[in-house]
Amino acid sequence: MNNRCALVSKIIPFSCVDGPGSRLALFLQGCNLNCKNCHNPWTIGRCNHCAHCVPACPHGALSLANGNVNWEAAACQQCDTCLRLCPQQSTPMALTLSLDAVLAQIQKAAMFIEGITVSGGEATTQLPFLIALFTALKTSKTLGHLTKLVDSNGMLSETGWQKLMPLCDGAMIDLKAWDSGLHRFLTGRDNTQVKASLRLLAEQQKLTELRLLVIPEHCDYLQHIDALAAFIQTLGDIPVRLNAFHAHGVYGEAKRWRSATAQDVEPLAQALNIRGVKKVILPALYL
């Protein structure tokens, strides 16, 4: 796939939960982590056209031709049978879209949004397309006013961020655990690069938001609260969003994990406040 095309999981034309204000959210397919707690686990992998899902589709929306699984949108009833069955944690409904096609979608929504957020999966796994998209937006006469944000797991290298930062307005980064061992348990990889990305983005004033996910019995923020708070303060006066885990959409063992409540989240907010972290955003709701 060249830098003029992207594998796209979904486009939400108007979103108020993917960054500040009303935004178009572009979800790219594929991720370099394998989080147990992922709410969109079918965005992790990429379809290898194994066709495991084809005979299982109850509506005949999937077919196999020339070795490729084809999805017929008109026949699809969004029952998600294919998502639950996919051994690759992928979706046959992901579309390969050209840069021009994505820009056309943004143009349709431009009058009603303040910016775009590219998410995933993991947006930075398709870095060449991301760079091409943000370059096109930045130089566009009709779309240049839109802010450009990345919702990322922070696993991009410093070299990658150096290419992306001049083109984007900021990044929202998840720190899924303080301890690298727990981070590896939750995601499959340690968090050394995540912390490095947070420091680099903060230094360049490109860190829009730090996000912490509270998973009862499976998070360690309070256990390491002094080190965590001190680290956050080195990043500057940035918003820290606390998200509450819930099992909706989750696969595997995490489906049995308890959802977070206010009683799980608010002690973390209070502990951060006491230690000088003032811009803490609580969940808007608990599921």
pLDDT for res 285: 83
pLDDT for res 133: 98
Class of domain 47-93: alpha beta
pTM, full prediction: 0.95
User: What distance in Å separates the CA atoms of residue 190 and residue 67, rounded to the nearest whole number?
Assistant: 36
pLDDT for res 2: 67
Residue/partner pairs of 30-33 with CB below 8 Å, 24 or more apart: 30/120, 30/121, 30/122, 30/125, 30/126, 31/120, 31/121, 31/122, 31/125, 31/153, 32/122, 32/125, 32/153, 32/155, 32/189, 33/122, 33/153, 33/155, 33/187, 33/188, 33/189
Q: What is the mean pLDDT of each run of 10 residues along the chain (287 residues)?
A: 87 95 97 95 94 95 94 95 92 96 97 97 97 97 97 98 98 98 98 98 98 97 98 97 94 95 98 97 88
Residue 180 gets the label, from left (phi > 0), alpha (psi -120 to 50) or beta, of alpha
CATH number of 5-43+95-281: 3.20.20.70
Among all chains, which residue has been given the structure tokens 């830098």?
3
pLDDT for res 287: 77
Domain ranges across the chain: 5-43+95-281, 47-93
